[in-house]
Amino acid sequence: MLKVPDHQVAGHRAGDGKLGPLIDDSGKFYKPIQSDGRGSKEVAFYTSVSSYTNIPSHIRRFFPIFHGTKLIEASDGSGQQPHLVLQNVFSGYLNPSIMDIKIGSRTWYPQASEEYIQKCFMKDRETSSLALGFRLSGLQIESKGSAFWKPDRKLIRKFTAEEVRLVLRQFVSSNSSADSGVDPDCTFVSTVYGGSGGILAQLLELKEWFEHQTILHFYSCSVLMVYEKESVVKEASSGAEVKLVDFAHVFEGNGVIDHNFLGGLCSLINFISEILTCSDVHTAKASLPKLL
C-alpha cells in the first residue's frame, strides 16, 4: 500500500491530484522521475554511484539506499509512471524532527543554460544561500507528542545568520515553538549535535571527504538532519542522522574539489560548533557553583 509521506519537509508534495513522492510500509520511498531531464540525471547518479569504487563506505552511508526504478501508480492520478525507489530515511522514526538544508552559495552549475543560471542566480541572492553558503529548504520540529512546528518554507529560506542560529538552537530544544520570544533551552544539544555519533561528527566526516574528493560536484543538493526527541528522553540516544538527498544536479568533478559545497558545509558546521561551544560554556557556568 502506497501513501503520501507523513514527514516530508521539502520538495513537491503528493495529494490533491498533484505529483509527489510516495512511501510504503517496508521502508521504501518512491520519487517520481521528473520528465525534464532532472529525473534521468538523478537516476544516472544513483546508478553510477555504485560504480565509483573510490567512494569509501563511511561516505556511502550518507546516500539513501537505491533500489532501482519502478513503474507505479502516480499520486496525481496520471496512471503508471516511473519512480526512483529509495530508502525512506525517516521510516525508523515515529515523530522525527527534521531540517533540510540546501548546501552551497551557488545552486547553478557552469554547464547550465543561461536562463537556468539567471533563475538560480536571483534565487541565491534573494535567499540566504549567498550570505550563509546554504539555505533552509524545510523544517519540522516536534513540539508536543506528535504535534510539529513546521514554519513556512518561504520564510525559512530567507533566514538571516541570527535567525539560522536561533532555529538551530530551537531544533535541539524541548521548548521549541513558533513563538520567537521563547529562549530555546538547548536541552538536547549535547546528545544530538555533540558526541561521537552526533550530527557534528557526521558533518565533519562529510567535510573531510569533500576536502579531497574530486570525483563529483553536488549542486542544489541537501543535507538532511533528523533525530527523535522521544529517543533522547527515553534512551538517551537521539538516533541523529545526516543524509544527503537530491542529486538531479550532480556533475563530474574533473580533478577539482567541490569548493562550493565544501564552503557551505563548513559554514553550517561553524554554526553548529558555535552552539555546542556556547552550551558547553553555559553548562560549565551553571555547574561552577557546585564545584566551588
- Report, in Å, the least distance between residue 137 CB and a second copy: 18
CB of 144 closer than 8 Å to CB of 117:
no
Q: Distance between CA 287 and CA 292 in Å, rounded?
A: 9
Q: Which is nearer to a second copy, 26 or 254 (CB)?
A: 254
> In 127-258, where does DSSP find H-type helix?
129-132, 153-156, 161-170, 189-192, 199-210, 229-235
The cell numbers describing 208, all together, are 573531510
CB of 128 closer than 8 Å to CB of 134:
yes
Q: Which is nearer to a second copy, 86 or 136 (CB)?
A: 136
Q: Which is nearer to a second copy, 244 or 265 (CB)?
A: 265
- Report, in Å, the least distance between residue 179 CB and a second copy: 23
Q: Which is nearer to a second copy, 212 or 290 (CB)?
A: 212
Q: Which is nearer to a second copy, 47 or 111 (CB)?
A: 111
- Report, in Å, the least distance between residue 283 CB and a second copy: 21
- Report, in Å, the least distance between residue 101 CB and a second copy: 13
DSSP state of 183: P
Chain contacts with a second copy (rule: CB under 8 A): 105-106, 110, 121, 125, 130-133, 161-162, 165, 211-212, 214, 254-257, 259-260, 262-264, 266-267, 269-270, 273
- Report, in Å, the least distance between residue 262 CB and a second copy: 5
Three-state DSSP at 276 gives helix
